[in-house]
Amino acid sequence: MSSDQPAPYGGTSSGTSQPSAQRPALTPSRVRTVHLQQFKDRGERFSMLTSYDAMTTQIFDEAGIEVLLVGDSAANVVLGQESTLRISLEEMVVFASAVTRAASRAMVVVDAPFGTYEASAEQAVHCGVRLMKKSGAHAVKVEADASMADHVRAMVSAGIPVMAHVGFTPQSEHALGGYRIQGRGEAAQTVMNDALALQEAGAFCVLLEMVPADVAAEVDAALRVPTVGIGAGAATTGQVLVWQDMLGLNAGRVPRFVRQYAELRATMSEAVRTYRDEVRSGAFPAQEHSY
Ligand SMILES: Nc1nc(=O)c2c([nH]1)NC[C@@H]1CN(c3ccc(C(=O)N[C@@H](CCC(=O)O)C(=O)O)cc3)CN21
Ligand SMILES: CC(C)C(=O)C(=O)O
Ligand SMILES: [Mg+2]
- 204, 159 Cβ separation under 8 angstroms: no
Q: Whose CA is nearest to atom 9 of ligand 1?
A: 73
Q: Which residues have a beta carbon within 5 Å of ligand 3, which is an ion?
A: 71-72, 111
| Residue 96 scores a pLDDT above 80 | yes
Q: How would residue 9 be classed by pLDDT, with cut points 50, 70 and 90?
A: very low
| pTM attached to this predicted model | 0.91
- Ligand 1, atom 24: closest residue by C-alpha: 180
Residues 6+ apart with CB under 8 A from 188: 211, 212, 215, 218
- Nearest partner of 141 among 36, 268, 11, judged by Cα: 36
pLDDT at residue number 29: 87
113 lines ligand 2 (CB under 6 A): no
pLDDT for 206: 98
Tell me, what's the pLDDT at 24? Answer: 40
- pLDDT for 51 beyond 70: yes
Q: Is the CB of 229 under 6 A from ligand 2?
A: no
| Alpha carbon distance 131, 24 (integer Å) | 30
C-beta 143 within 6 A of ligand 2:
no
Mutation to probe ligand 1, out of 179, 244, 265 (largest number of atoms < 8 A from CB)? 179
Per-domain boundaries in the chain: 33-260, 263-291
* Catalytic hit among 66, 118, 209, 218: 209
CATH architecture, domain defined by 33-260: Alpha-Beta Barrel (3.20)
DSSP secondary structure string, 195-261? Answer: HHHHHHTT-SEEEEES--HHHHHHHHHH-SS-EEEESS-S-SSEEEE-HHHHTT---SPPPTT----
Q: Is 169 in the pocket of ligand 2 (CB under 6 A)?
A: no
Give the model confidence (pLDDT) of 105-132 as tens digits.
999 999 999 999 999 999 999 999 999 9
| Best residue among 111, 140, 205 to mutate for probing ligand 2, ranked by most atoms within 8 Å of CB | 111
- Which pLDDT score, from 0 to 100, does residue 162 have? 98
Short-list 139, 193, 137, 184, CA closest to 166: 193
209 catalytic? Reply is yes
SS3 277: helix
Proximal ligand: closest to the CA of 170: 1
Kindly provide the ipTM of the predicted complex, given to two decimals.
0.96
Q: Percent of the chain at pLDDT above 70?
A: 90
pLDDT exceeds cutoff 90 at 16: no
Q: What is the pLDDT of residue 20?
A: 46
**Share above pLDDT 90 across residues of the chain, in percent, rounded to a whole number:** 89
* pLDDT of residue 230 exceeding 60: yes
DSSP 6: P
Alpha carbon distance 249, 243 (integer Å): 8
- Is 100 touching ligand 2 by the criterion CB < 6 Å? no
Atom of ligand 1 nearest to the CA of 77: 1
Average pLDDT over residues 270-291: 98
Is 153:121 a contact under the CB 8 Å cutoff?
yes
Per-residue pLDDT at 160 exceeds 60? yes
On average, the pLDDT of the chain sits at 92
Predicted confidence at residue 182, as pLDDT, reads: 96
